[in-house]
Structure 1
Amino acid sequence: FNSGNTSVEEQSLYMATVNICELSHKEVELRCELTGNVAEGYSAGKVQLSQTSIAVRGQEEEIAKVSYAKVIFDIGKNTKETVTADLDYQFYDEDGQVLNLSGIHAEAGQIQATLPVYVTKELKLTVDFKEAPGAQLADMIWAIKPESVVVSGDASVLNDMDSIVLDSFDLLSVTTESTSHSYAILVPDGCENLSGVTRATLEIGYPDKTVADVTTHNIRVENASASRNVELLTQELSVRIFGTAAEMEGITGEDVAVVADLSDYAVASGTYMIPAQVRVGDGKTIGVSGTYQVQVRIPEF
């Protein structure tokens, strides 16, 4: 036999027998057996499985033996945080015996199991205080009410937490003996505030604040052009300072330095009012109120 480029030199006939069996299908419950334990002081929630049933197919007499499927979830010893694992499952009959039936086909891969582990902790309420010269936390009387709250939540979130920061607070804003500020208590996402208190109050005061005006002649410029003689027209300046009575005692104008930076006036000429920085003593304990400037005359090149 020839047909174009194809030729058949020998032919044979074969017979085949095909058995066609009807496959059955059903859904079986997926169960989870836990092993291991949660550490003392912690609690576990409900196991979460990626699916709650498994579809199986096979011959009717085979899948009829399948009562349920099960994964074994080992959470380890003295677990202190949420555990997640990918697990294999097995099929069981109604007597709880493992079935090893090759004719059963399951429509699922590994099962992801998660056991949320919770902890209850008392978290201290704090404020991020911003200190400044003349406004040191050590010089103030303050309290946060309530001091703490009891929070329950995922151990992986709370294990490393000891406090809740309510907000930042600039101590320069404290000008009286007593003031109060209210803040919302925000617990981490997914956690529960068991105390039931939703707001905290910061009470803070500056019981020993002393304010004084001092006059200084200690005025200078810096970063001036070396080729020009800048004339400082402001010869004295009155500066308002503050601090505790002990820190302020003995402070005079000689302890106050006023510096005007001419970096931005390198090519300028004429008379200008230049912003000045004021520093008292070591610059750490005494604060300065207000802003200041000095007048200078810059000659032409």
Structure 2
Amino acid sequence: MNPIKKKTFRLESLLQNRSILEDRRVRLVLSALLAVALWVVITTVVQPGTAITLSGVPVDYNYDASVYTSRGLSIVQAPSKTVNLTVSGDGYTIGQLRAEDFVVYPDCSSVRSSGTKTLQLRVRCINSAVAGNISVSIANTDSTVDIVFDVVEEKTLPVQVNTRYLTIEDGYILYSTAASNETVTLTGPSSELADVASCTAEVSYNDPLNDSVTVDTHLRFYNESGHELTFDYVTLDHDTVEVTLTVYKTAQLPVNVRFVNTPPNFDDSVLIYSLSQTELRVAGPADVVDNLSELAVGTIDLSTFALDKVYEMPITLPSGLVSLDNVDTVTVSFNCSAMATKTLNIPAENIEVINLPSTYQLTVESDRLMNVTLCGPASVLESLTADQVVAQIDADDFAVSLGQQNIACSIYVPADGRIFVLGSYTVPCRIESN
């Protein structure tokens, strides 16, 4: 088509359209259509006076709680309850509302004391943007709720372990019990807590015990008369404890004492003594007890021994062992009626040296070791001479160094192991290199 003709055709079309809009009848029709459209929008979208139902809105028991907490009261029981709400307003506004925009709560304004109260439920819109433009009510026919109020307190009790249901195998004892928690705290109405007098962990076990165990145990509560209690509203910070039962094997063992600083060939039968406790009842882990045939309750140093002396020996038991007798010490009394002491001067030739390295030479720089006191049977000491006594220097007992020094020595009588030395002695010596 010719370009000039195209332009002429478009211009004619525009002039025709303009002439249609200028037509009064056309404008009236368009106005009517616009009015209908607005009416449709208003009646279908805005909808003034529209009502909707919100279902399953929960009752909030904490809302406005200061009304009753200011009187020292707390809710100790309340049912879990939901209600339906009827919300009225324009369709546009209420169409955006949800259950979260409302709070349903009990009217506690009449609550003055403890007890069960039947209270009216109230509803409030908490969406401040729309609260003034809608109305809301509870749709349920039953819009009340029963709530128990009371003064809530705490009470802390010691946990008492009760083992009356346990059986211990023969040869064993229940030595101790220990609960993982020594106390329990109860929280609830003062009226319920007032009856609670004691708490026990009553341990039970199927088989007779012969070893230590830990048992998970429920707590039980009793009143002053010993009747067990069950709680309606009281809660516990824990309702079980772990009870550790320490079970030990028992034994009755003979008691003896040990001696130190004895000569190499010492015969302890020379020491006749009596013990205030000849046997001791002990308990401990089975592997410890089974390895013992006697108990050495202490040691006596023969270098400090004195005739007719009485020794008070504190009882020292092996690790893991405990005494079942109420005894802390054992008295050791010696019968020295057949014993005596004798003092001799030991000649230098009776001083022997052992374990000295071959690169060294030790010379005793004294003719004799003076005033050595020996103890033993009186009949033997009577005929004992210095030549029968040996003083021994052991190089393993000191640091070998060149020069002069006083060196400790041990003294014994090779011919008779019943004789021992009282006191300690040193010998002046000179050590030289070979």
TM-score tier (shorter):
0.5 to 0.7
Shift in alpha-carbon separation, 1:189–1:211, aligned structure 2, 3 A = same
SS in 1 for 2:310: strand
Q: Say what the alpha-carbon RMSD is for the aligned residues.
A: 6.0
Aligned-residue offset at 1:265: 4.0
Greater relative contact order, per chain length (Cα 8 Å cut-off, separation 6+): 1
Answering whether residue 272 of structure 2 is matched by residue 141 of structure 1, we say yes
Partner of 1:75: 205
1:170 to 301, 313, 320: 301
Aligned-residue offset at 1:237: 2.1
Partner of 2:96: 12
Separation in structure 2 between the aligned mates of residue 89 and residue 37 of structure 1, nearest angstrom: 20
| Matched pairs, number | 262
- 8 Å CA contact 1:215, 1:236 repeated in 2: yes
Partner of 2:136: none
- Structure with the larger helix share: 2
Whichever residue aligns with residue 332 of structure 2, its letter is: L
Deviations 1:91-126 (A, max 9, x none): 9xxxx9x99x9xx78342342264787999867554
Whichever residue aligns with residue 275 of structure 1, its letter is: I
1:256 to 372, 386, 390: 390
Aligned-residue offset at 1:174: 3.1
Separation in structure 1 between the aligned mates of residue 176 and residue 405 of structure 2, nearest angstrom: 68
Partner of 2:167: 37
Whichever residue aligns with residue 111 of structure 1, its letter is: T
Separation in structure 1 between the aligned mates of residue 394 and residue 323 of structure 2, nearest angstrom: 53
Deviations 1:65-107 (A, max 9, x none): xx9999763234223577653335699xxxx9x99x9xx7834
Whichever residue aligns with residue 294 of structure 1, its letter is: P
Structure 2 unmatched runs, 5+ = 1-94, 107-144, 222-227
2:407 to 275, 286, 297: 275
- 8 Å CA contact 2:315, 2:330 repeated in 1: yes
Shift in alpha-carbon separation, 1:147–1:260, aligned structure 2, 3 A = closer
- Structure with the larger strand share: 1
Answering whether residue 85 of structure 2 is matched by residue 85 of structure 1, we say no
Whichever residue aligns with residue 216 of structure 2, its letter is: D
Partner of 1:287: 420
Shift in alpha-carbon separation, 1:254–1:79, aligned structure 2, 3 A = closer
Structure 1 unmatched runs, 5+ = 1-10, 58-62
Deviations 1:245-264 (A, max 9, x none): 66998887377355486955
Shift in alpha-carbon separation, 1:263–1:225, aligned structure 2, 3 A = farther
Separation in structure 1 between the aligned mates of residue 314 and residue 331 of structure 2, nearest angstrom: 9
Separation in structure 2 between the aligned mates of residue 142 and residue 130 of structure 1, nearest angstrom: 16
Whichever residue aligns with residue 287 of structure 1, its letter is: F
Separation in structure 1 between the aligned mates of residue 394 and residue 281 of structure 2, nearest angstrom: 52
SS in 2 for 1:217: helix
Partner of 1:108: 237
Aligned-residue offset at 1:132: 0.7
Aligned-residue offset at 1:144: 0.7
SS in 2 for 1:74: coil
Query: Alignment identity in percent?
Result: 14
Separation in structure 2 between the aligned mates of residue 255 and residue 85 of structure 1, nearest angstrom: 66
Moved more, 241-250 or 127-136: 241-250
